[in-house]
Structure 1
């Protein structure tokens, strides 16, 4: 038996190394797979799309905002993995009745690395976790060399339309924007605020507008609507997984960011 702390400071008692895991977060499902825990993973959400084959081999227990507690209970899990941002605190009392429940809280790259190492320890996958962190840090340092001479550009990162919502401060997305030398014009606003697009010039008139691929399906019409309120912005449809998924998705994110900057340079 051992006691571990999750990333929101809660103590969790584990009788043994977990063997039946339910993941309620897409990025963490992918991370568990990359930590060689596919066999231990018994339940996932309908949004857990990486790797794709898991949707046909694991039980779907709902979404990230609404889960089926009876389905989870029927799986007889000994560990449930959630996230402060993706899931609701309202879930906790019901989930804890079923199994020890771990909530992550990832707003920075260091938080992400910490999560990988913590899960590696909990699931007896320290070697896999150490190797993954080493690869992430190698890619990160390489990207920092790539980006160091790039100009800083003002940016607005949209996650929803009508109401229009953006990524603000205290988010993993904002950390990724800073890494890319994108100055978030909404960095003085907390989390995911609603904004009025007719005030975007007054807020900072960004050089680049990023319309995220998730959670909202932005289309050309949204890009055109926002564009009418800016002076010179370049609008791109960004891969939301690369900007918002911590964990092993970071191995792909840094190469994606390089491609994004190459694409943007052709417009300036």
Structure 2
């Protein structure tokens, strides 16, 4: 076995990738938010949340490599680095970034060929889906809501997946913002003005409430609300920048986009 042998994954996407590559035996600890794959949640110790971690529990696992995501985990990374642990914090925010991440992670664990093959397969499936979507009769305007209080619109990879699935994200200028705080909307006026045909909600940590959305002042005139085109996309399959978003996440959105018809 080459590369790191005792890996702690602070988020779900490295866990899912390593399992997909057949390298799961390297994993000694995972995030408590991990739901994919199910065997990881069953078999691996849970040592972190997203913004916090059990540092002593991680150290007790004697990892030689820890993988996290984004500036939000900077404090966790710093604490581990001070204890002499090697840490990799990725910060990919796009579909291409996810595919590149898979290849880089594979290379780090000595499974570069398997990772390239896996990424190529995911890319091929996305291209096939885009080709199918191009034959749809029309392209709906789509609003993706990541949180409701305050309103936070979808991140870049979500907007890109919406386009691949045959829709058009109504807030591309916000999707280009990598930080959630920069995608906060003071009110729903932009959504009202751009009048989406479909609304997807993925409120991380709580159930999406279409009825609550429909009751917002002024939203009763939005096409998606009038035509009851409000759907939940489960956060574990869309809000983590890993394989789930490129498979189950986009498929869930594509089904609703494919079924949509202009009123």
Higher helix proportion (structure 1 or 2)? 2
Given the two structures, how large is their TM-score scaled by the length of structure 2?
0.84
- Is 1:206 the counterpart of 2:196? The answer is yes
What is aligned with 2:257?
Answer: 261
Q: Secondary structure at the match of 2:195?
A: coil
What is aligned with 1:104?
Answer: 90
Does the aligned pair in 2 maintain the 1:186–1:203 contact within 8 Å? no
Alpha-carbon separation, structure 2, partners of 1:27 and 1:261: 26
After the TM superposition, which residues 79-118 of structure 1 pair with which residues of structure 2 at under 5 Å, given as runs?
79-84=65-70, 87-98=72-83, 99-118=85-104
Alpha-carbon separation, structure 2, partners of 1:201 and 1:57: 43
Alpha-carbon separation, structure 1, partners of 2:206 and 2:163: 22
What is aligned with 2:59?
Answer: 73
Instruction: Provide, for residues 174-206 of structure 1, a one-character-per-residue CA deviation record: whole Å limited to 9, x for no partner.
Output: 222232343322222334322245424554121
Structure 2: runs of 5+ lacking an equivalent: none
Given candidates 236, 239, 243, the residue that maps to 1:248 is: 243
Alpha-carbon separation, structure 1, partners of 2:191 and 2:77: 41
Q: Secondary structure at the match of 1:156?
A: strand
Q: Which moved more, 1:186-195 or 1:151-160?
A: 186-195
Instruction: Provide, for residues 30-73 of structure 1, a one-character-per-residue CA deviation record: whole Å limited to 9, x for no partner.
Output: 11111112111001111011112222321111201111111111
Does the aligned pair in 1 maintain the 2:165–2:250 contact within 8 Å? no
Does the aligned pair in 1 maintain the 2:32–2:47 contact within 8 Å? yes
Instruction: Provide, for residues 109-157 of structure 1, a one-character-per-residue CA deviation record: whole Å limited to 9, x for no partner.
Output: 2111111111111101123212211211220121111111332322211
What is aligned with 2:153?
Answer: 166
Structure 1: runs of 5+ lacking an equivalent: 1-15
Q: Secondary structure at the match of 1:217?
A: coil
- Is 1:122 the counterpart of 2:118? The answer is no
After the TM superposition, which residues 40-79 of structure 1 pair with which residues of structure 2 at under 5 Å, given as runs?
40-79=26-65
Q: Secondary structure at the match of 2:122?
A: helix
User: After TM superposition, which residue ranges in structure 1, 4 or more long, deviate above 6 angstroms?
Assistant: none
Alpha-carbon separation, structure 2, partners of 1:201 and 1:247: 28
